[in-house]
Each structure stands twice: as C-alpha cells, then as structure tokens.
Structure 1
Amino acid sequence: MRAITITEPGGPEVLAWSEVAEPAAPGEGEVLIEVAASAVNRADLLQRQGFYDPPPGASPYPGLECSGTVAAVGPGVRGWSVGERVCALLSGGGYAQRVVVPAGQVLPVPAGVSPVEAAALPEVVCTVWSNVFRGDSGLREGQTLLVHGGGSGIGTMAIQLAVARGARVAVTAGSAEKLAVCRELGAQVLVNYREEDFAEVLRGEVDVVLDIMGASYLDRNLRALATGGRIAVIGLQGGRKGELNLGALLAKRATVTATSLRARPAGEKAAIVAAVREEVWPLIEEGRVRPVVDRVLPMSEAGEAHRIVERSGHTGKIILTP
C-alpha cells in the first residue's frame, strides 16, 4: 500500500507518498479500515518536525483520524462488519491507504455526512467533548465558553457544540474573514487578537477557556475567567513555559487542566468515543452541528496541506484523500 512517510524530521518537503508494507491483520478487538480520507491536525506537523512521536505500538505514519470502509475485523469484535462506512480516532496512520484501529475507537459515518467529510470529525469532536463538556467542571447551559483559534478545526467544532448545548460563545481569531465564519456558526463575542485584548473584552465573564496557546495566554486567560472557572490547555502554540498567578487562581477558585488525547490508554479513548456517539452524533445527524472543511487535497500533497496549516491559511479542516 501507500502511505505518507517522514523521510527525516523537518519541513513539509520531508513528507513522501511512499510504497510501504501492508499493516498486519487486525488482532483481538481490532478493525482494519480501507481509508477514504484523513484530516490534518497540528499534532501531525509536530510529528513531522520530530517533536511528537507516536505512542508505542502505533503506526509510524501521521494522521490522527480517518474515514473509510471496514475491510476486516479481528477476533472478538462485535458491532462492526466488513463493508460498513466508518470513521475512527487513531493514534497514528491516517495518512495511508489502510490502517488498523481498536474497535472501541470506531464510529459510524453520521447520516447526512459524506464519507470524506466524516474524516474531519473524530479527533476534533473527541478533543472538544473531553475537554469542554465532561465532568462536574464541564460547560453547562447558560455559561460562557472562550475558544482561542475560533476558525480552526477545533474552534469551529467547539463553537457549534457549545451553542447546541445552550452556552454563550466568545472566540479569538486573527482575521475578519475567520471571525465572520465564527459568527455564522453561532459565536456571539468576536475578538480579533491582532486588534483587541480578549482579557479586557471578557474580564471575569468566562466559565471555560479552550486554549491552544499555552504559556503566552495564561495570565490573560485567568483575567478573563469567572469565579469557579476552568482553563483547559490543549495546545502550546504560544510557548511551553510561563508564569501563573497562583494568588489570582486561588481568589477565583479556578482550575487549570492540561490534556492530550493521542497517548491515552485505549480504554479511556473508547469511553470518550462512546460518549461522543451518544451525545454528539445525534446533533450532527439533526444538522445542528457539521464538519467545517476548508479544502480537500490528494494525500500525495500532504506537504502543501501542512504549509497551509502552518501559516493558518485555512478555516476548519483540511482533508486528504489517498
């Protein structure tokens, strides 16, 4: 089969559409998927640069989500049959023609969504659901969510899910065009971070912050936060090391969490996927939430897709088809 290989750590030019060995037959509890499409995530760029290796046992190829058709099922698999249209949350390997995945990380393609569009769903939906809505500190109806990078794949999904569940949404983005898309999706407070300080616009109003920036936004996130609020850090685009005002954190009785999805145990991922199927898939099938796709490119042009993401030249997700 063919897959995108990383010839050496580096820029987009190190991605090659190569002949590689077929994946092993699916083992106990696993499913083999014939890939129809995959989607680009910033974690793929980090892996290409040599900063984010796949967890042990995962495919070495990039790609944290895919859609396609079940090609084979391993022993002990129930609920999936050869020929079914599916999408899946992966630990790696989406940039390939075939990939093996634990059955607990597989989802049906939602009604009303094309097989290609479905590739834009698993990673962003599972990330948003597990960080914004889970647990006692999760976002509730009537509360305010602040989403940094509102025009990203994560951002466009977070806006829609929060609106569908009755929350108020504020976003930051770097252009009027991206903010216009956020408004169409339901965001009510729009902040161009190149022109305004979101902490001043939202001082003390935010219940949950979904943060892709990390260190550079810690202090301002805290100033924007309401009493009892939560900052969920899921990215480090603004740096890894920063200072946090613990006095302000105590005064607001606030919480800062930092999580990643890729390296979680299969059981945790399966629990998140099951919750997403129950809570989010109906919203998608009702048309209240949809994948936002910027463009579709051949998988052989993965390097160009990475260049677009690096310069933030997209809104929503970029899809790759083999």
Structure 2
Amino acid sequence: MATTPLPDKMTAIAITEPGGPLVLKPERRDVPTPGTGEILVRVRAAGVNRPDVFQRKGAYPPPKGASDLPGLEVAGEVAALGAGATRWRIGDAVAALTPGGGYAEYAIVHESNALPIPHGFTFTEAAAIPETFFTVWHNVFQRGGLKPGETFLVHGGSSGIGTTAIQLASAFGSYVFATAGSPEKCDACLKLGADRAINYREEDFVRVVKDATDGKGVNVILDMVGGDYVDRNYDAAAIEGRIVQIATLGGPKASADFSKVMVKRLTHTGSTLRPRTVAFKGEIAAELEAKVWPLLATRKIAPVMDMIFPLKEAWRAHERMEEGDHVGKIVLDVA
C-alpha cells in the first residue's frame, strides 16, 4: 500500500512562557522521528487535562526526555514506525497516552502505550479516553483495590476523571457516591451511574455517606482536592478504607487527625501517572484492553464530551477548564 510522504514541519501549540492561557501559541516545529519501539501518530484530536494547565503555568515540568509541548493523550493514525515497533501498521487508528507533545499534528508514543480506537468512536471521542481511563484504572482498581459490592466515593464527579470513575466503578458493581458543585453537575453524575450525588456547596459529604451506609463509611475514596478534605476523607472512610490522592487542587498541605488512620486501619496512598515508565503504562494499557475496551466497544461506557476546540485555539480550551463549568472532557480537534 502506498503511503503519503511525511512532511518535514508541523503545527504545534507551544508554551511561550509560564502564564495564562494566552501564552499557548501555534508555531512550526520539526516532525519528530520515532525511536526504538515507538510510533509516530498523525494526531487528529488531543485531550486537554488539568496537568496541561499546571505545565502551562510552570508548575508541572515534563519528565526527562519528553516533549516540551503540552498534551498527554491523542487519537489518530499511525504514520511511521520506529525500529522494532511491530504491534501496529501504517494507517492503524489508535488512541494513545503520551508523556507530552499531544498538542501537535504529529506525536511520538511508545507502541505499548497505544490502544485501538473502539469501534464506532470518532477521533475526538477517542482522544478523550487515554489519560482519564489509565489514571482511574490504576488509582481506583489497582492502587485502591475497589471490588464489586464495595462503596466508592469520587470527588469532582463531573470532571473528566470523575465521569470516568463513576462509569467504571458502577460498571464493575460498586455503589457510587460523587461530589459536585451544582445541581446540574450532580444530575450529570447521576445519569452516568452514580447512586448518590452530593452537592458539596449545600451538603456535608461525610454526613451523607455515613447516613447512606449506616455509619460504616465508604471503602474507597478517589480525591483530587486535598487540603481540608484529607481529614474529612478519614471521617468518611470505612474500616480498612483506602484513600487515593491524585491531585491537591485544594492545597497540598493539610491538618489531619492521624489517629483515625490507626483506629480505622486506613490506607492513604497516591500517585502521578506522567513520570511512570513506559513499561508500567504498557501494563495498564494491557489491562484496559482486556477489561475495559469491551465495555467501550458496546458503549456501555463512553467518555463524556464537554467542548471541542480547534488546535490553534488551545488557549480557549484552557480557559474553559479553568472556569470550572465543564462536565467531562475538553478536546482539541487537530484534523
């Protein structure tokens, strides 16, 4: 099959200096060359995530060896193969997790960190999958050990992470609580499968989960808030409960009563995904393909789409995220 020659240059969105959304500007860059075990993806869509915002502000530098461009997830077609890359063929449609570089017309990913686009999904839908699904699978099911029949609480239920966590926890048989900041966002959580949505501006999530569980509390909590939520999470957790920290939007420091950890035999853990090894991410990808991709293929679950912006208007996507009104995923249309 004849292939179209690759261009030498591409359009990418660079962070010109640390700052607000308007520091994101299009520029011409060389098309990258895939290394051993890597593939070059002709990006058709790229997901926008909170770490991109932190990187833009200068608070989340890319790991060593990664592109300085923002963008942790892409969907598109395989355009070139690096040495030893055998899983994919030129032209295959993939959704992939990247260590950076997604806000561009071409991006490099390791072949093990790419997955086939589920049947019937558009590129923009597929680009909304990798970052949140990898993150939720590892933190809720691997690190948090959520099991069917257990209770689960996710903070920020209307976010990309939250909407994914609600759907997966519900699909795998858990009773799901979700916090959100408005009646509309709470309704969105309920429609996705949450059994109880808690408007944190009007209700105390500790009291709600305690009342709903006959005082037992929840088995697993996924928290991206931190701050004063830490001690409240300890109150809301059940005996042998597991709290998994994936962000600290409410502040990285907290005052907490650690005797609760001892009395309840709690586990408070946390992780960041971006700096982890290619092999580690490849293991998550393999589990997702085996256990979650069949649910996506039948649309039993799907990413919740908020808004789609053209690549050159990435600054608008960042404004949308920072306004905090979005429900689900914000995506850039690169095609």
**Runs of 4+ in structure 1 displaced over 3 angstroms?**
none
- How far is the alpha carbon of 1:90 from its aligned partner? 0.7
Aligned-partner SS, 1:207 = strand
* Cα distance in structure 1, aligned partners of 2:199 and 2:163: 16
1:92 maps to which residue?
A: 100
Aligned residue among 315, 328, 332 for 1:316: 328
SS at match of 2:95: strand
Q: Show the counterpart of 2:38.
A: 30
Q: Name the counterpart of 1:193.
A: 200
Task: Report SS of the residue matched to 1:149.
Answer: coil
2:187 equivalent to 1:180: yes
Q: Decide whether the 8 Å contact of 2:217 with 2:237 is kept in 1.
A: yes
Aligned to 1:118: 126
State the match for 1:233 in structure 2. 245
1:1-322 equivalent positions in 2, closer than 5 A: 1-23=10-32, 25-134=33-142, 137-203=144-210, 204-322=216-334
| Match in the other structure for 2:7 | none
**What SS class does the counterpart of residue 302 from structure 2 fall into?**
coil
| Equivalent residue pairs, number | 320
Structure 1 segments unaligned to the other structure (5+ residues): none
- How far apart, in 2, do the equivalents of 1:190 and 1:22 lie? 45
Q: AA paired with 1:4?
A: I
- Whole-angstrom distance in 2 between the partners of 1:207 and 1:198: 14
Q: Which blocks of at least 5 consecutive residues in structure 2 are unaligned?
A: 1-9, 211-215
In the alignment, the residues of structure 1 paired with residue 112 and residue 75 of structure 2 have an alpha-carbon distance, to the nearest angstrom, of: 15
1:112 and 1:139 mapped to 2: Cα distance?
Answer: 29
TM-superposition CA deviations, 1:137-178 (whole Å, max 9, x none): 511111111010100000111011011101010000001111
Aligned-partner Cα distance in 2 for 1:88–1:72: 15
Deviation at 1:21, TM superposition (A): 2.0
RMSD: 0.9
What is the CA distance between 1:246 and its match in structure 2? 1.7
Q: Which amino acid aligns with 1:66?
A: V
Partners in 2 of 1:30 and 1:287 — Cα distance? 29
Mapped partners of 1:274, 1:123: distance in 2: 15
SS at 1:127's partner residue? helix
Q: Secondary structure at the match of 2:301?
A: coil
The answer to whether the 8 A contact 2:139-2:270 is kept is: no
Q: Could you report, residue by residue, the CA deviation over 1:63-100 in whole angstroms, capped at 9, with x for unpaired residues?
A: 00000000011111122000000010010011000011
Q: State the Cα distance separating 1:215 from its structure 2 match.
A: 2.2
**Distance in 1 separating the partners of 2:51 and 2:20:** 14
Aligned partners of 2:184 and 2:313: how far apart in 1?
25
Question: What's the CA shift for 1:19?
Answer: 1.2
Could you tell me whether the CA contact under 8 Å between 2:158 and 2:186 is conserved in 1? yes
1:141 partner letter: P
The one-letter code of the counterpart of 1:252 is: K
Give the TM-score normalised by structure 2: 0.94
TM (normalized to structure 1)? 0.98
Find the aligned partners of 2:120 and 2:221 in 1 and give their Cα distance.
Answer: 31
Q: CA deviation at 1:52?
A: 0.3
Shift of 1:217: 0.7
How much does 1:243 deviate? 2.3
Q: In structure 2, what is the Cα distance between the partners aligned to 1:265 and 1:243?
A: 33
Provide the C-alpha distance between the structure 1 equivalents of 2:18 and 2:35, rounded to a whole number of angstroms: 31
Q: Distance in 1 between matches of 2:330 and 2:65?
A: 27
43-52 vs 113-122, which deviates more?
113-122
Q: Are the aligned partners of 2:155 and 2:224 in contact in 1 as well (CA < 8 Å)?
A: yes
* Offset, 1:274: 1.0
Quick one: percent identity of the two aligned structures? 49
SS at match of 2:27: strand
